[in-house]
Amino acid sequence: MTGRLQEEKVFKDPVHRYVHVRDKLIWDLIGTREFQRLRRIRQLGTCYMTFHGAEHSRFNHSLGVYEVMRRIVNNFEGRIHFTDEERLLCLSAALLHDIGHGPFSHSFEKVFHTDHEAWTQQLIRGDTQINSVLRKVSPDFPDYVAQIIGKTYKNKLITSLISSQFDADRMDYLLRDTYYTGTNYGSYDIERILRVMRPYNNMVVIKHTGMHAVEDYIVARYQMYWQVYFHPVTRSAEVILQKIFQRVKFLYRHGYAFARKPDHFLTLFDQSISLDEYLALDESVVLFYMSEWCKEKDDILRDLCDRFINRRLFVYIEHDDRIKDAAWKQGIEELFRKAGIDPDYYLVEDSPSDLPYDIYGVSEENGEKTPIYLLMPSGNLEELSLCSPIVEAISGKRRFDHKLYFPLDLLEDGTRESEVMNKIKHMLRI
Amino acid sequence: MTGRLQEEKVFKDPVHRYVHVRDKLIWDLIGTREFQRLRRIRQLGTCYMTFHGAEHSRFNHSLGVYEVMRRIVNNFEGRIHFTDEERLLCLSAALLHDIGHGPFSHSFEKVFHTDHEAWTQQLIRGDTQINSVLRKVSPDFPDYVAQIIGKTYKNKLITSLISSQFDADRMDYLLRDTYYTGTNYGSYDIERILRVMRPYNNMVVIKHTGMHAVEDYIVARYQMYWQVYFHPVTRSAEVILQKIFQRVKFLYRHGYAFARKPDHFLTLFDQSISLDEYLALDESVVLFYMSEWCKEKDDILRDLCDRFINRRLFVYIEHDDRIKDAAWKQGIEELFRKAGIDPDYYLVEDSPSDLPYDIYGVSEENGEKTPIYLLMPSGNLEELSLCSPIVEAISGKRRFDHKLYFPLDLLEDGTRESEVMNKIKHMLRI
Amino acid sequence: MTGRLQEEKVFKDPVHRYVHVRDKLIWDLIGTREFQRLRRIRQLGTCYMTFHGAEHSRFNHSLGVYEVMRRIVNNFEGRIHFTDEERLLCLSAALLHDIGHGPFSHSFEKVFHTDHEAWTQQLIRGDTQINSVLRKVSPDFPDYVAQIIGKTYKNKLITSLISSQFDADRMDYLLRDTYYTGTNYGSYDIERILRVMRPYNNMVVIKHTGMHAVEDYIVARYQMYWQVYFHPVTRSAEVILQKIFQRVKFLYRHGYAFARKPDHFLTLFDQSISLDEYLALDESVVLFYMSEWCKEKDDILRDLCDRFINRRLFVYIEHDDRIKDAAWKQGIEELFRKAGIDPDYYLVEDSPSDLPYDIYGVSEENGEKTPIYLLMPSGNLEELSLCSPIVEAISGKRRFDHKLYFPLDLLEDGTRESEVMNKIKHMLRI
Amino acid sequence: MTGRLQEEKVFKDPVHRYVHVRDKLIWDLIGTREFQRLRRIRQLGTCYMTFHGAEHSRFNHSLGVYEVMRRIVNNFEGRIHFTDEERLLCLSAALLHDIGHGPFSHSFEKVFHTDHEAWTQQLIRGDTQINSVLRKVSPDFPDYVAQIIGKTYKNKLITSLISSQFDADRMDYLLRDTYYTGTNYGSYDIERILRVMRPYNNMVVIKHTGMHAVEDYIVARYQMYWQVYFHPVTRSAEVILQKIFQRVKFLYRHGYAFARKPDHFLTLFDQSISLDEYLALDESVVLFYMSEWCKEKDDILRDLCDRFINRRLFVYIEHDDRIKDAAWKQGIEELFRKAGIDPDYYLVEDSPSDLPYDIYGVSEENGEKTPIYLLMPSGNLEELSLCSPIVEAISGKRRFDHKLYFPLDLLEDGTRESEVMNKIKHMLRI
């Protein structure tokens, strides 16, 4: 066992006021290089290009998730018994749930087919500082933490505190992303939610008196998705980022002579990347390479990097049946090619269903997110959307939100054949 | 002239709620690559290692300074007449006042003897996107903006809005740094301050009814300096950073064979750096190199970079006459050398008087900061510290706050001769 | 015309930071006795018995409504032309819209059949300080203000700013009631709403980009209704208050010899009350009488007043078909009578549909509240609930929320025949 | 003993988020009529005439003091042992410390020579609901609570939590009054203060690392005194209130035939007031009488009441040696008399040293307020003002702030002899 700190330590936190650390285990985990690396990965990827305040890191958020978990565990005292190991398991899993994230994680995963949850587990089980700190609790402890992340741990209640409708992760990020973006959309009364959460068999349910507080929380999520997480400007930056990664991979495979060779990414291309090589990837590395590639002679790579670094983003059209029309799509791509603009890189369809966020009731198919139950005075459970018309309205409805992104400036720079340009503009109705 | 935007644009800002842009000039300046670069330079340097929330960039802050200036100029309407060019001058200078900052600016300047204000002026006058945007107002306009930064502009009132006790810079950063650190120390009633600011000849004075509001502002600054800006943990990270830069310079000059050569810094070493090379320097570049140097074979460089990247900081002793005692200092340095720990890198004196912040009344010697005057009912001016005992108490008092930083872990790792170690510990009283 | 103040005056306001007054007219209106009287009438009636923070007055709120209107009018500049008289009309109507409220207005109106909007108009048109201040603008000006309150004014746009889905009244009270209760439910981004409001013919519509901000505002209202305005504890206090007024009226009509005669209420009983008598009624008067009536010999009046003054409220049963069952109702009333507890005063049905709040789309029948329209890029209007599933979910749905209130303590004090009591408890399932 | 509640109850509180009640004793005390009476007495007396937000009651504040005390006691766990009775003693004394306050307490006490602390003790020891609730803990318990209020209780540490520089009372009211007035002056980091408070023998000291947090707290108090509590407009209303009470007393003693006899005040005049009569006095009663007295035929009483009710306040001159000059004072009084304006009621000197607030170090003479000590790393104590120049600057300095209040409107209404008026205006320099 790792014991208590002699004196409680705190981190001043804008969202939870203070993050309280009393366990030596937690203090030591925060000090590991794998955890410190999260300072160099932003919580919201490219969102800072839309909301300039959103520059906070996953380090910042991870401390918050830990603090929320600490409060949940405290509140459950008297209702359920956690052993000291179980308590530490909850706290460690909360703190470490994001350590496997790569730089600009969403685009990164999409292009390189990595999986941050798998990496989180590997980092916990592998030859890392985190592993050796966790191992001090007990030899099996790292594995238990990894199982929670992988949702295979025997105690489903603990797993649900990390991954469910009321997990510590979401409870923190709504408030934190609201705070840093400066919007009000994600705020909800966390203290009331904490007060009405009840352990119930293998899951967390909500005391019926908290119904409206939960509605508020669900609506907060809904608003954050549409106002912040799925913001089309943020997605435009993601689209460019993906195309950069795609281009680098393509150029490398076709033997292009880089002025700045993508050394840090090579093992990623053939999926032979080691744990240490993965850890070496962070957003300062990605930004460094992109700055360098602004000087490459490959037109596409150079242009895309310049767009990302200097925030010259794509525009989009939306709400449009054309986007789903294959013939129309083929036609516009043809015209782009005629104009000398490669549609593989400059005409990009994007949909938030590709995004790693789900709204209440939407992502049930993969089985991992459970519905929310209210604990009624009778002792029975009732599913929230049956009681709340407002949740029912949001629940499970997939919004059609395909957008087609392209660089308006290229179409308007006057260097291309005007007849083709006119046809393109006509088709895009711009 | 550059004219108005068709429709006002806004940025959602956590501190001022919204940043309002109505002038095409301002919109275009924000879009330049030199301004976008500020996204890659943190406002508070290494402060995020102490306050994890303080990850905000100079981009973030610069928009805020612009917004404060916009409000000041609005409030002055009716009291003083600014021509449209003067108005744009105020706004541009506010927006651009920080573009010359380098990465981790304070340490950077200290080691490489650069001056961010000089660079700001060069960037405004040189061959940059900013210059060509500014030039659209009038051929002399860039020069006027640069003069304001250099405090040589003919209209001293405008200069004072950028650099004085009540400049837009300070008025923004107190609130912003408070917001992001999550402390309450720097908050003050900016709307009231804006309401009591009065143009008076060449300067801004404060209507006497606002005396307590100004006290609150001065105390907010005082508190921020001691609680945030001069925080010893932040300074510890700065100390390490300076020593990294110093070591790289040293190794380069002595022909050390870098595994990762400091290409981006070479022209900096001999002070032949060009404008484009300077612009290429940002914090992702510095962090990239430091991550790479964690693998160098030079023990000192490798260790210092590892300390910075993984936040293994120095500790300190303070409030101690020994630090100022040359003989004592020489003794302890001698012992460090005996122990095989180079005191040039591992025994570092630091004092906040080296820091670029000044408290009310402290930095008068360089003549650039003017005192605060209250505009009395009689129409006379009175200097604030004569009216306010609380300001008088703070005013002009230089606090002795030398600290001596060193790596406690190296002294305790048990690999060194115990007799020497004991002597060191005895001298340091640890 | 009444002109501008020499220097702007401000009120420090927790919700809008500052309330700005630049017109002498507004300053003078605030100084009238009829407006100052609003300091003695609480904004949320008995809500302070549920949320102890909700002690704010209608004076407090009225200043806020004025300030919101001032900002709306400012924002409309450039989009629509208001003459100076129209501007003052907007501001005056906003400031004065609540001056006709009586003490504990909702219960008061229900028992005494008064109508605060009619009184507001009478006070504006009658022999009052307000009338003589308004008259200084022009002889017809008071009448115009009264017409806006009565919704008969020719300019429907101006009327809609006082009474519609986006009137200054609601925009203020959501934020203010949220602030004082300490809940977060009613907060929404007022600055964004102000930015997307557009005058459009006779009404205010919302620019389509503001759709989610409007959703947030509608959900804020929905949450405030259920969490604050319709709170069953507040309604319990209202029920008791109504029964006190009803008892006093009854006793007076039946010649009861009051120890403290209800002098202030006599002309109210026969609906002959004069303007001055109406103005003399405020909450300090009502509380004074209730405190005195705690010493009356009539058991019911004395008990009810003691319940109100010392917050010994009724409890309730709800969600229950029995409440709507006439036979069941008659049975329980019978038993109350047998037990010597008068069901006219101690068994009270209450429903929020009696309450003066309406949720989006609910109160259309009376024709006064218009739907919300979005202004689409095409220039067409679309009704909000057709675009927003979340608003559609809330819209127009009347919730069954009848409750039956009664004094649990009387049923449990052990002084009554136990057989009857058991029957009562059985029927009430308590 | 009174035991725990089955389930924790909470009050939603804007300042502390939630007030948590776990003890049946506390719940029952809140339900007593003596405690509910505090809902009818405002926390800041006439301050709402200056800051319209400041309408909160002593009930509101008292819950907050209880909550602060609950947190202090929680934080002390592990450092010091409180028995369960001692814990309840702390909580009860915190909750009840204000129950002896009369309506508009400061003016009330000044004119009627009552003492709210003495009344608090009488209410605790006397035949009240509070007494019978407290008695359930133990027969001596009410007396212990009263002793804490009277500062005669044996355990000085507990007394100091109710009355010292860091008592729960001040810690709550600074934050609360700041919140309701909407100013920022009184905000400080209460969580940090709670974390650095240490029980040390008979008092509470502050861990040295909290020095700047304490400075912030002291400056917050200083700012609130000058910006809010001593605000000249609030004092103007207090002056009028005192003169009303004085006039009523005078008229009664001289056999004036009141239209509305001051029944509620009669035993107060001859200081024979009983406990029940005292409890019957609240601000609705005072406001009721004042409204009634607006119709009295006595010119002075009628006018003063009209001024208070309709907020037609006195103006003032200040910072003036004349005010202290007896000859000048006599001269101006003489002129007032000549003009037919009774200077006993219409020319009033006021000084904040009459006010019940003390700034750090000012009120030591009465021995009840102790200095603040820092607990140094050495284990020694150091007095705060010796370490902090900012506190030293504020400490113990009595500010000369005499003001002379008078009704400007009476001097300008044109009904009086112009020569006398001119002389008055000349002397007052208005």
Does the pLDDT at position B152 exceed 80? yes
Q: Give the nearest partner residue to A287 out of B57, B59, B284, using CB atoms.
A: B284
Catalogue the long-range contacts made by B67-73 (C-beta closer than 8 Å, 24 or more residues apart).
B67/B13, B67/B16, B67/B19, B67/B20, B67/B172, B68/B16, B68/B94, B68/B168, B68/B171, B68/B172, B68/B190, B69/B93, B69/B94, B69/B95, B69/B161, B69/B162, B69/B168, B70/B20, B70/B94, B71/B194, B72/B161, B72/B168, B72/B194, B72/B197
On whether the CB atoms of residues B174 and B188 are closer than 8 A, the answer is yes
pLDDT band with cut points at 50, 70 and 90 for residue C362 = very low
Domain end call among C256, C278, C307: C307
Nearest CA-CA distance, residue C378 and chain D, Å: 43
Binding-site residues on chain A for chain B (CB distance < 8 A): 11-15, 17, 31, 33, 36, 39-40, 48, 51-53, 55-57, 59-60, 63, 179-183, 280, 282-285, 287-288, 291, 309-312
Q: Give chain C positions within 8 Å (CB) of D56.
A: 53, 55
Listing DSSP states for C383-396 in one string gives EHHHH-HHHHHHTT
Q: Give the nearest partner residue to A288 out of B285, B310, B311, using CB atoms.
A: B285
Residues B45 and B151 in one domain: yes
Residues A216 and A185 in one domain: yes
Residues A94-146: pLDDT tens digits?
999 999 999 999 899 999 999 999 999 999 999 999 999 999 999 999 999 99
Nearest CA-CA distance, residue D105 and chain A, Å: 36
For chain A, the average pLDDT equals: 92
Quick check: is B151 in a domain? Answer: yes
Does the pLDDT at position C1 exceed 60? no
Backbone angles phi, psi at C266, to 5 degrees: -60, -50
Spatial CB neighbours of C427, under 8 Å, sequence gap ≥ 6: C322, C328, C331, C332, C335
Residues A170 and A91 in one domain: yes
Binding-site residues on chain C for chain A (CB distance < 8 A): 183-185, 187-189, 212, 215-216, 219, 222-223, 226-227, 389-390, 392-394, 397
Residues A188 and A269 in one domain: no
Catalogue the long-range contacts made by D158-162 (C-beta closer than 8 Å, 24 or more residues apart).
D158/D86, D158/D89, D158/D90, D158/D93, D160/D202, D160/D203, D160/D204, D160/D370, D161/D69, D161/D72, D161/D90, D161/D94, D161/D204, D162/D69, D162/D90, D162/D93, D162/D94, D162/D97
Residues A363-385: pLDDT tens digits?
444 444 578 999 998 899 999 98
Binding-site residues on chain D for chain C (CB distance < 8 A): 11-15, 17, 31, 33, 36, 39-40, 48, 51-53, 55-57, 59-60, 63, 179-183, 280, 282-285, 287-288, 291, 309-312
User: CB A17 to CB D195 under 8 A?
Assistant: no
Q: Give the nearest partner residue to C191 out of B17, B191, B195, using CB atoms.
A: B17
Which chains share 3+ C-beta pairs under 8 angstroms with A?
B, C, D
Quick check: is B97 in a domain? Answer: yes
Does the pLDDT at position B135 exceed 70? yes
Q: Give the nearest partner residue to C17 out of B10, B18, B191, using CB atoms.
A: B191
Residues A85 and A30 in one domain: yes
- The total number of structural domains that make up chain B: 2
Most confident stretch, A23-27, B184-188, B201-205: A23-27
Which residue of chain C comes nearest to A214, CA vs CA?
Answer: C223
Does the pLDDT at position D83 exceed 90? yes
Residues A272 and A177 in one domain: no
Domain end call among B229, B258, B273: B229
Backbone angles phi, psi at A425, to 5 degrees: -60, -35
Residues B104-121: pLDDT tens digits?
998 999 999 999 999 999
Which chains share 3+ C-beta pairs under 8 angstroms with C?
A, B, D
Does the pLDDT at position C358 exceed 60? no
Query: Which of B181, B185, B193 is the mutation pick for testing D, counting most D CBs within 10 A?
Result: B185
> Which residue from C311, C310, C290 is spatially nearest to C301, judged by alpha carbons?
C290
Residue A430 has a pLDDT of 83
Domain end call among D206, D229, D252: D229
Nearest CA-CA distance, residue A74 and chain C, Å: 23
pLDDT band with cut points at 50, 70 and 90 for residue A401 = confident
Q: Alpha-carbon Rg of chain C, whole angstroms? A: 24
Tokens of D311: 């907020």
Does the pLDDT at position D126 exceed 50? yes
Nearest CA-CA distance, residue C48 and chain D, Å: 9
Residue B127 has a pLDDT of 97
Which chains share 3+ C-beta pairs under 8 angstroms with D?
A, B, C
Residues C365-393: pLDDT tens digits?
444 457 899 999 889 999 998 888 888 87
Q: Give the nearest partner residue to C212 out of A216, A223, A392, using CB atoms.
A: A223
Residue C365 has a pLDDT of 46
Residues B261 and B171 in one domain: no
Residue scoring higher pLDDT (B353 or A66): A66
Residue B324 has a pLDDT of 79
> Tell me, what amino acid is at C319?
H
Quick check: is D373 in a domain? Answer: no
Nearest CA-CA distance, residue D388 and chain A, Å: 23
Quick check: is D315 in a domain? Answer: yes
Nearest CA-CA distance, residue C287 and chain D, Å: 6
Residues D46-69: pLDDT tens digits?
999 999 999 999 999 999 999 999
Query: Which of B65, B291, B292, B293 is the mutation pick for testing A, counting most A CBs within 10 A?
Result: B291
User: CB A393 to CB C390 under 8 A?
Assistant: yes
On whether the CB atoms of residues B348 and B405 are closer than 8 A, the answer is yes
> Which residue from C269, C249, C174, C154 is spatially nearest to C214, judged by alpha carbons?
C174
User: CB D179 to CB C14 under 8 A?
Assistant: yes
Backbone angles phi, psi at C357, to 5 degrees: -110, 145
Q: Give the nearest partner residue to C191 out of B18, B191, B195, using CB atoms.
A: B18
pLDDT band with cut points at 50, 70 and 90 for residue B398 = low
Residues A117 and A265 in one domain: no
Nearest CA-CA distance, residue C349 and chain D, Å: 25
Which residue of chain C comes nearest to D32, CA vs CA?
Answer: C310
Residue A351 has a pLDDT of 81
CATH of the domain at B206: 1.10.3210.10
User: CB C222 to CB A393 under 8 A?
Assistant: no
Residues A324-337: pLDDT tens digits?
888 999 999 999 99
Nearest CA-CA distance, residue B56 and chain C, Å: 23
Nearest CA-CA distance, residue C275 and chain D, Å: 16
3-class secondary-structure state, position D357: coil
For chain D, the average pLDDT equals: 92
Dist CA B8 CA D111 (whole Å): 59
Does the pLDDT at position A398 exceed 70? no
CA dihedral D296→D297→D300→D302, nearest 10 degrees, is 30
3-class secondary-structure state, position D186: coil
User: CB B284 to CB A283 under 8 A?
Assistant: yes
Residue A246 has a pLDDT of 96
Residues D177 and D34 in one domain: yes
Quick check: is C20 in a domain? Answer: yes
Listing DSSP states for A267-301 in one string gives HHHTT---HHHHHT--HHHHHHHHHHHTT-S-HHH
Q: What residue has token string 């001159």? A: D317
Mode of pairing for the β-strands spanning B373-375 and B381-383 = antiparallel
Quick check: is B128 in a domain? Answer: yes
Dist CA A53 CA B14 (whole Å): 7
> Which residue from D301, D311, D322, D216 is spatially nearest to D259, judged by alpha carbons?
D301
Residue D399 has a pLDDT of 61
Quick check: is C352 in a domain? Answer: no
Range of the domain at A275: 231-312
Query: Which of C9, C13, C16, C17 is the mutation pick for testing B, counting most B CBs within 10 A?
Result: C17
Helix/strand/coil percentages in chain D, nearest 5:
55, 10, 30
Dist CA D253 CA D248 (whole Å): 8
The DSSP secondary-structure symbol of A381 reads: E
Residues C239-275: pLDDT tens digits?
999 999 999 999 999 999 999 999 999 999 988 999 9
User: CB A288 to CB B288 under 8 A?
Assistant: yes
Dist CA C260 CA C252 (whole Å): 11
Cβ-count burial of C156 within 10 angstroms (0-12 exposed, 13-18 middle, 19+ buried)?
middle
Mode of pairing for the β-strands spanning C348-350 and C315-318 = unpaired
Range in B368-382, C23-37, C359-373 with the lowest mean pLDDT = C359-373
Percentage of residues in chain A having pLDDT higher than 90? 77
Which residues are paired to C199 by β-bridges? C204
Give, for B172, the enclosing helix (H) or strand (E): helix B168-181
Tokens of D292: 């009634």
The DSSP secondary-structure symbol of D57 reads: B
Residues A61 and A117 in one domain: yes
Nearest CA-CA distance, residue A195 and chain D, Å: 10
Residues C36-91: pLDDT tens digits?
999 999 999 999 999 999 999 999 999 999 999 999 999 999 899 999 999 999 99
Residue scoring higher pLDDT (D73 or A400): D73
Percentage of residues in chain C having pLDDT higher than 90? 77
Dist CA B21 CA A411 (whole Å): 26
Quick check: is A200 in a domain? Answer: yes
Does the pLDDT at position A319 exceed 70? no
Residue B377 has a pLDDT of 86
Residues D312-326: pLDDT tens digits?
999 999 866 777 788
Query: If you average pLDDT over residues A253-259, what whole number do you get?
Result: 97
Residues B14 and B107 in one domain: yes
Query: Which of C188, C219, C231, C397 is the mutation pick for testing A, counting most A CBs within 10 A?
Result: C219
Residue D400 has a pLDDT of 60
For chain B, the average pLDDT equals: 92
Which residues are paired to D11 by β-bridges? D19
User: CB C288 to CB D283 under 8 A?
Assistant: no
Which residues are paired to A106 by β-bridges? none
Spatial CB neighbours of D29, under 8 Å, sequence gap ≥ 6: D35, D92, D95, D96, D130, D133, D134
Residues A209 and A295 in one domain: no
Tokens of A383: 């599913």
User: CB D17 to CB A195 under 8 A?
Assistant: no
The DSSP secondary-structure symbol of A216 reads: H
Q: Give chain A positions within 8 Å (CB) of D17.
A: 191
Percentage of residues in chain B having pLDDT higher than 90? 77
3-class secondary-structure state, position A195: helix
Residues A70-98: pLDDT tens digits?
999 999 998 999 999 999 999 999 999 99
- Please state, as a whole number, how many other Cβ atoms lie within 10 Å of the Cβ of residue D126: 18
Listing DSSP states for B267-299 in one string gives HHHTT---HHHHHT--HHHHHHHHHHHTT-S-H
Which chains share 3+ C-beta pairs under 8 angstroms with B?
A, C, D
CATH of the domain at D261: 1.20.1250.30
Count Cβ–Cβ pairs < 8 Å, chain A vs chain C: 48
Query: If you average pLDDT over residues A35-49, what whole number do you get?
Result: 97
